[in-house]
Structure 1
Amino acid sequence: MHTQPVDEELDRWLTKPTSLRAIRPDEVEPVLSSWKRQQEQGNFRFLPLVARVLFSMPSSSAQIERDFGAAGRMVTPQRSSLAPYNVDMATFLNCNRSYVDIIQCPKLSPKCAGARLPSNVLVNMVQDLDAEFGSMANFFSGESMNLGTLDNEDTGEV
């Protein structure tokens, strides 16, 4: 199928106002009925088919289960602090691989890529902090240190 007629039809839909008919004063016709009416009147040929696909009920929940499974495998205890929008986008890209062409994405220079990294993935490591980790034992009470030693002795572990 050539895309030119579809593009022309989409442009016509964007420029020509179409609206839902009022069935009663407080109720309008369903969206799919409106698209069916547009197709029967000969106004649009391809867009009603798109609407049927977009607004249809899936015949099975298998695809939805796969989509949620992909998101569930992404959010693990090790990745529990992922931002919801990162999970949403990664799941979207994973579930729509056939529609997203990674080759068309421009390659970013290291400088540009660094500028686009979200702040939640940037961690500044200060070398001086490594020495401070050794002083953490001072934050624990002597009693808790003894309890840890006693627990190891009871189990025979060293």
Structure 2
Amino acid sequence: MKSIALLLVILSILCQARAGDEASVETPSADDDKQSPSPIIYNICESTNEELVGAYSHTHFVDDAPVWTNEEGMGIWRHFGYWYIGDYGEWPPVTFYRCVVGCEQGREEPPLEGFKNKKGYEGGPVKLQLEPCGEEGEGTGEEL
């Protein structure tokens, strides 16, 4: 009986030691696989669709590609290696523009120009810029 009790104590000590060793080993978590957010903010300053105008901040990743959205739910995203602009508030997103000029497949970030409206979408030209949109009268001497 004493040998069984001794065996149980030894097994308990070994299990506790093993549990302590496993706790000290760093195991990758799902969060480790996520990429860090991009500090880049894209701006669309002119568009016939007012919902597209504004600053686009990186919000998340979809299929290892970054997604930027504005306050109106519009977005800039990559799908099958190509960049799109449109309504990201719906799922699947509704494409208004697709990058077609200077848009090699798999770019990590969208180009600033080269977006053409999707067939059936009547929006005018659109381009991205890194500088914030100016205010009316800025640099003209006019008071706001």
TM score, norm. by length of structure 2: 0.20
TM score, norm. by length of structure 1: 0.19
Larger Rg: 1
Higher relative contact order (CA 8 A, sep 6+): 2
Q: Larger % of strand: which?
A: 2
